[in-house]
Amino acid sequence: MERAVATYLEPQARLAIYAEGEFGKKHAKTAEGVIRYGRNPVAAVIDSAKSGATVREAVGLNCDAPIVASVGDSLKHSPSALLLGTAWTGGALPAHWRKDIIQALESGMDIVNGLHDFLENDAEISAVAKRHGRRLFDVRKPPMPLPVGAGLAKDLKQHVILTVGTDCSVGKMTASLELDAEAQRRGKRSKFIATGQTGIMICGEGIAIDRVIGDFMAGATEQMVMDAAKDHDYIFVEGQGSLSHPGFSGVSLALIHGSAPKTMILVTKATKTNICELPLPLPSLTTTIKANEHMASLLRPAKVVGIAMNTWGMSKEDADRAIQQAREETGLPCQDPVRDGVKELFDAIIANEENSK
């Protein structure tokens, strides 16, 4: 079976991260995720609005790569691939990116693309890539064929931990990555499973479940989990969307039944009031916990054992207050993985493992 992982960019490839006009803003979460957690060295970030600064100076991430104004300016930092680092609802290719992508190909760079629009289907771009012997990595393209989910993961002895959310874009990938890192610090055989384009760009493999045909979403998840279980004891599955999101709830449920978690970590963002930008109030933590435990239990019992709260942009006082409130509402440990780490959350995962033995 063809696998998404097979043809992905080599770990030593040096990235120019394309975030034109958006670095440090909401739509550049792919760029920031790759800089924070990615395995590839970052040669430069491209954003003419912030050029001259380093990444550290511009957005406070632990990275001294320069920000440059153009694809041409990035070349002196020897990038070997251009990674498209911003994402938009709907995932179509913005028209003004075209000339920059073509220039990068002509300059000898491969392209890493996480959009719903695949570059290999773009006649002009694929012709330029072919002419220059460059590769187009459409990371959201699912491998085919994929199986139909059969509930196989429910019998695993290995510990599967899924992040679930009150909404999309709240920090599920970050929480899963931090938990995987904590497991490794504690000497565990642990693996992060990427289910979205940024996660795939970070770890070099995975399947973007939201891009998979409905009938095969759970099967794709299941296949990755069963594969990881061969040589890992802790499997952290990146969640997507939320059971309360009217557009993405189906993807979230496919992840629950495809991965059959024993343990879930609920992820939320303290400053959010609405689901995406819709006129729908964000569900409460209690509502979300109940919904996820109920749906998981249709396949096997599973518990939400902790809250990862994204307090980005809040004062320390406000963040502490929000975290305290979540602890009181749910009776569960709550931490901001980026600000506070995930030790308490990991302890709660281990405790659930002991309890369910």
Binding site for a second copy (CB under 8 A): 89-91, 116, 145, 148-151, 154, 209-215, 217-219, 222, 243-254, 256-258, 260, 275, 278, 280, 283, 287, 291, 294-295, 298-299
Q: How far is CA 95 from the centre of its chain?
A: 25
Give the separation between CA 269 and CA 13, rounded to whole angstroms.
Answer: 33
Instruction: CB nearer to a second copy: give 295 or 350.
Output: 295
Q: How far apart are the first and last CA of the chain?
A: 35
Minimum Å gap between C-beta 229 and a second copy is 16
Minimum Å gap between C-beta 252 and a second copy is 8
Minimum Å gap between C-beta 343 and a second copy is 32
What backbone phi and psi angles, to 5 degrees, belong to 345? -65, -40
Instruction: CB nearer to a second copy: give 10 or 148.
Output: 148
Instruction: CB nearer to a second copy: give 127 or 150.
Output: 150
Q: Which of 268, 215, 214, 213 is nearest to 239 (CA)?
A: 268
Give the separation between CA 190 and CA 182, rounded to whole angstroms.
Answer: 9
Minimum Å gap between C-beta 281 and a second copy is 11
DSSP codes, 99-148: HHHHHHHHTT-EEEE-SSS-GGG-HHHHHHHHHTT--EEETTPPPSS-PP
Q: Which of 112, 88, 86 is nearest to 31 (CA)?
A: 86
Minimum Å gap between C-beta 148 and a second copy is 4
Instruction: CB nearer to a second copy: give 90 or 187.
Output: 90
Instruction: CB nearer to a second copy: give 134 or 172.
Output: 172
Distances (CA, A) of 119 to 88, 138, 146, 242: 16, 7, 22, 29
